[in-house]
Structure 1
Amino acid sequence: MTSFGTLEYVLDKFSGTWSWKVTGERAVAMVSRIIPQAWYGDGEFEAIVPDDPKNVLQIKWIMDRYPLEILSKTTWQKKLPMPTKPEPKKPKRIEKLQLANPGKQFKGNLLNFQREGLDFLIKSSGNALIADEMGLGKTVETLSYIGTEQGTYPALIVAPLVTLNNWQREIEKFLKLKSRNGRLIDDKPPTSTIIRVGKSEDLGKYDFYIINYELLFKRYKDLAKLNLRTIVCDEVQNLRSKTTQKYHAIKKLSALESIKYRIGLSGTPIYNRGSEIWPIVDILRPGLLGSFKEFCEYFCYINEKGKAIVLENKRESLRNMLQKHVMLRRKKTDVLQELKEKIRHKEIIDADINYYNKELEKIWKKLEDDRKAAQTAFDASTAYQRAIQSERQVAGVAKLPHVINFVKNIMEIEESVVVFCHHKAIHSLLHQSLAEFKPASIIGGQSDKERQNSIDTFQNGETKLMIAGLRAGNVGINLTRAKYVIFAELDWSPAIHLQAEDRLHRIGQKSTVFAYYLMGNGTLDEHVARVLVDKSYEIDAIMDNKVESFENKEKAELILAQIHDKIRSITS
């Protein structure tokens, strides 16, 4: 474990009393902030703290967050007050993972790398970020841990709205009910409830409480009464902003005395900038990365937009720190030898530039009028964001005929295809133009039943085409029937694309997955693509030890040539 300085019991020459000498820049900064009786020592980063029980507790609090090398171990042990309850096990640096066996309450089968994931959770005392790539079974690893570790109930599962039913199904599939006397009942699952309303009311007694992020703040008081032992945050990137109500609710819940286990799950915990990892880690392992200010001072620079970007020469050290203490990260290529590769290709397609420029002129004329009428900086900013959204939609419409042709070309050779788009208007136009293929649909606003019916229709082969919203269909679903994924529109976040790709590229996929990013020539797409590449470079360097290329032209173009050749043979 990283040491931030030293702690020594010394006879202070200034006061003539036995005191504690703390060294180390960050530790001394904390001492000066929370122990007013302390004074600076002779060295640059050295503080002297009077020896009294209250100060000893304050030093211990600092050491829990910034470990110090104890030079006077015997004296320190004597001075520490006897704990009134057993100390929780501290997460240790984990050098090597073993193949852990799940407890008897778990009734599934784990692959070997999932057993190592279980071992990581055990060795980190259930306070960890499981950042395996999408499709590697983070849910089942987490449930195996809850069914193995002692005292994990009741557990709170916080997840995106569209995944709540899936969590309940997985609990029923993988866990047995444990009665009050500890007896396992094989044919019954643990009790669970999905919280769907924001109105405060008694929640009753269950083993699992399942709630979406948007309701957390409204139901905080009810949840705080449940004596929760475990919090699981699925798609934990939802907590990447420390200013949101859902973040504050989770922060308060995770600090409750009853909480012993805090688990975050996400294959893409960083969406846009490396600094987004700080709020997540500060919930799972408070203090590991210091305060946000300290984190930024050490790891980041502030760009021209005021955003904290992790310095290129600090990305490796940040990744190492995360992996030593809190984060498990495996890629599919590391653990699934049988899984075929994933190939990306950026395809430049024609766009109706006359339409695009004409609409663009209208958008920016309206923006100019809105900015003149704006009474506050917020109004002006809102007008600009509205204009950008309008331009993105116009770019989607301008290239739509060529997107449709691209999709039809692949459909002609009887392949299953998933098409992702961003705007509901584009989703509707795609549906109309490709109606001959009877496409399944995933879009925001669907009920859970409608959404699952669409997924089942596609996965069962009743249709070969799925049209999905980028932010509605990028989590909580399995689309392994297809091996082609087409992005008709682009998102600003590379993580959104990764999540969408991995609806196909996951356990159960038997074919190479080809991801085609269709970019309108001469439109906003070209700028968005450059932004995506820059963001991906920072994210990949922090999460993984390499930067993945955005595309693999040779193999993807070979597939395109095969598609066009087959189409010619069909039509000739």
Structure 2
Amino acid sequence: MTYVDPPSAALHGELTADGTQIVLIGVGPDPAIAQMADRLQLATPLIKPSNPPGALVLPATWAAVVQLSHLFGAVWRPGPRLLGWLAEEMRLRTQPGTELTVTLPEGLVLRPYQVEGARMIAAMGRALLFDDPGAGKTITTILGLLERAAAGHQVAPVVVIAPASVVDPWIDAWRTWAPDWRVNAWRGTPDHRRRLAARPAGTAAHVVVASYDTARMDAAKGKPLDRLGARTVVVDECHLIKSASAARSIAARRLAKRADNFVALSGTPITHHPGDLWPTLEALAPTAWPSGERWKARYCVTIPGDYSARVIGLNDAAEPEFRATLLGQHRRVAKADVLTQLPPKVYSVRQVELPPAYRKAYDQLERQMIAQLPDGEELSVMSVLAQLTRLSQLASAAADVTVTREPGPDGEMQGRTEVRLKAPSWKVDALLEVLAERPGSPVVAFAPSRQLMALAGEQATKVGLQVGYVMGGQSMRERTETVERFQKGKLDLLCVTTGAGGVGLTLTAARTVVFLQRPWSLVEATQAEDRCHRIGSEIHDSIEVVDIVATDTIDARVRSVLHEKAGQLADLLKDPRLVTQLLGGSTPRKAA
């Protein structure tokens, strides 16, 4: 909705001589001026009085001008200097060029859409690359930064922040596509990292690649990554910084704000709701998006929450404006549109039955959970997730269940349940059947549970299969070597926990993906599938995704609810009615 006022009213804007701010002056009747001032509060940039008084100023950003134009319509009057700046911005954002000038290493070829993405990065310097998982965002980013450097911009030193599992793949990609650039892993002892930061210009790395955890420790003021003085920051899997108050999010945004260039990559930028985007937007353009609350108020649909407004979606009416604010800085391509040679995904479900004795234990725990649900009260998400996780474990394998009692925060005694999985596992038995049916064809197995993955690997080893693991607690070297062995066909089975290996990895040697458990998020599940369905999987005629589901358990119900709600389970668990649905209804089943 735009501003409407008498023809005599106008909001004039002009760029300051140094090009950093826009000065706003309203003219017209006093009521019109007051209305303009009120409407300016709807913009996301922070607007301040000028010095000397008499005008308002705000940072000169493309997003600010787009918002002013939408807020005030014909009343908005940009001055000549601002119009010149806008014309140049429009040229950069809409005409980034079609070819790359950098010479690619012999034998390497880019796809056309990667050239387009690289040109966007080269032209703008700060960009969001949200192509589908497996579309080659890493290479697009590297070539975009090389092209920007070739055009005379200061790009190095580059800091890449990525999940630990893909630090080494990032290093390999830089060394392959930019062999003249010095690249180091940012890891090791604190003393070693301090020495990396202190290397003289002639020997210092052009690029360092750090895990999120290491970046979190080293990004504070005076710490090694801060002293490195990054001119470019790349944040891979940027959906991992969605929590604005998390230490890793604060670290990534701090480094990004000080850098000249910034690229954020994710195939799934929204894992929860559109509010996930704000930390990445602030890293992209801190002065355009300085406040998460202001961004949500302008572009999102919200409802009251316990402490702040809860985002439930993007405001459809404001979406065109939001897209315009990111003109030329944002790109998303779907694999189905640009990688038509990729094989189709073929989904199937294998049902397994719980043995009678274990069915009885499962049903008993499920009935206890239903009995403990309060009527109509909002639930503790973490508490419910913990209980659902225990149920999921009991639906997967035999287990030793230990219940201890200890004082809670209020002094009352509370029960604590610990589940340790053991053989037999009806799900692992089904996995072994899948492997036996596909001799010589490598398989990737996923589950959130480390215990279940370890049990699967143990049982597969006992029948003579070569097994590797990607799980938490491993060194980066161990993960990298395991993935390399798998890709070279030296492993029959790769057991991967979704938390440790669900993003970033390339596992295209497999044409079969097996989920022994689904993660609580559709986004995480899709990311995991796409470790195998990406550039390089053209060697297969199809990618088979097999779900092993225990009949009449939480397995099938969680899958159904997630697909129906298209969301993340943590979002849904505050409603006791939904939890009852997940547990199979309020009427307990008769024990087998």
Find the aligned partners of 1:484 and 1:109 in 2 and give their Cα distance.
28
Contact 2:45 2:288 in 1 (8 A): no
Shift of 1:331: 1.3
Change over 3 Å in CA distance of 1:92–1:24 after alignment to 2: farther
Q: 2:347 aligns with which of 338, 344, 367?
A: 344
Higher deviation after alignment, 126-135 or 204-213: 204-213
Contact 2:470 2:496 in 1 (8 A): yes
Spell out, residue by residue over 1:25-73, the C-alpha distance to the aligned partner (whole angstroms, 9 max, x if none): 652445997446xxxxxxxxxxxxxx86666572455876353348544
Matched residue, 1:477 = 505
Identity %: 21
Find the aligned partners of 2:63 and 2:505 in 1 and give their Cα distance.
40
Find the aligned partners of 2:264 and 2:116 in 1 and give their Cα distance.
17
Q: What amino acid maps onto 1:520 in structure 2?
A: A
Q: What amino acid maps onto 1:219 in structure 2?
A: D
Secondary structure of 2:248's counterpart equals helix
Matched residue, 1:412 = 437
Secondary structure of 2:396's counterpart equals helix
Find the aligned partners of 1:173 and 1:4 in 2 and give their Cα distance.
53
The Cα RMSD (Å) is: 4.2
Contact 2:120 2:144 in 1 (8 A): no
Shift of 1:532: 2.2
Shift of 1:282: 2.2
Matched residue, 2:116 = 116
Q: What amino acid maps onto 1:489 in structure 2?
A: Q
Higher deviation after alignment, 469-478 or 101-110: 101-110
Equivalences for residues 437-448 of structure 1 within 5 A: 437-448=465-476
Matched residue, 2:457 = 431
Secondary structure of 1:339's counterpart equals coil
Matched residue, 1:238 = 240
Change over 3 Å in CA distance of 1:452–1:12 after alignment to 2: closer
Equivalences for residues 114-513 of structure 1 within 5 A: 114-123=114-123, 125-149=124-148, 150-177=153-180, 189-197=181-189, 201=194, 203-204=197-198, 205-220=204-219, 221=221, 222=223, 223-256=225-258, 259-286=259-286, 291-297=291-297, 298-302=299-303, 307-310=310-313, 313=316, 317=320, 320-321=323-324, 324-352=327-355, 354-359=357-362, 361=364, 383-397=383-397, 400-414=425-439, 415-435=441-461, 436=463, 437-509=465-537, 510-511=539-540, 512-513=542-543
Shift of 1:167: 1.7
Change over 3 Å in CA distance of 1:440–1:386 after alignment to 2: same
Q: What amino acid maps onto 1:459 in structure 2?
A: Q
Find the aligned partners of 1:280 and 1:293 in 2 and give their Cα distance.
14
Matched residue, 1:83 = none
Change over 3 Å in CA distance of 1:519–1:301 after alignment to 2: farther
Change over 3 Å in CA distance of 1:91–1:144 after alignment to 2: farther
Find the aligned partners of 1:33 and 1:364 in 2 and give their Cα distance.
53
Change over 3 Å in CA distance of 1:64–1:400 after alignment to 2: same
Secondary structure of 1:351's counterpart equals coil
Find the aligned partners of 1:32 and 1:450 in 2 and give their Cα distance.
46
TM-score by length of 2: 0.72
Paired positions, count? 495
Spell out, residue by residue over 1:279-305, the C-alpha distance to the aligned partner (whole angstroms, 9 max, x if none): 222211336567322333342233889
Find the aligned partners of 1:411 and 1:270 in 2 and give their Cα distance.
38
Change over 3 Å in CA distance of 1:77–1:304 after alignment to 2: closer
Matched residue, 2:546 = 516
Secondary structure of 1:270's counterpart equals coil
Contact 1:106 1:147 in 2 (8 A): no
Find the aligned partners of 1:224 and 1:11 in 2 and give their Cα distance.
46
Shift of 1:427: 1.1
Contact 1:100 1:118 in 2 (8 A): no
Secondary structure of 1:141's counterpart equals helix
Higher deviation after alignment, 324-333 or 149-158: 324-333
Secondary structure of 2:499's counterpart equals coil
Shift of 1:428: 2.0
Find the aligned partners of 1:461 and 1:4 in 2 and give their Cα distance.
64
Find the aligned partners of 2:56 and 2:155 in 1 and give their Cα distance.
28
Change over 3 Å in CA distance of 1:506–1:366 after alignment to 2: closer
Find the aligned partners of 2:80 and 2:140 in 1 and give their Cα distance.
42
Change over 3 Å in CA distance of 1:273–1:396 after alignment to 2: farther
TM-score by length of 1: 0.74
Residue segments in structure 2 that go unaligned for 5+ positions in a row: 5-9, 13-24, 70-74, 199-203, 399-423, 570-592
Residue segments in structure 1 that go unaligned for 5+ positions in a row: 37-50, 81-85, 178-188, 372-376, 540-572
Q: 1:526 aligns with which of 513, 534, 556?
A: 556
Spell out, residue by residue over 1:183-215, the C-alpha distance to the aligned partner (whole angstroms, 9 max, x if none): xxxxxx325342344578351243122211122
Higher deviation after alignment, 443-452 or 163-172: 443-452
Q: What amino acid maps onto 2:300 in structure 1?
A: F
Secondary structure of 1:58's counterpart equals strand
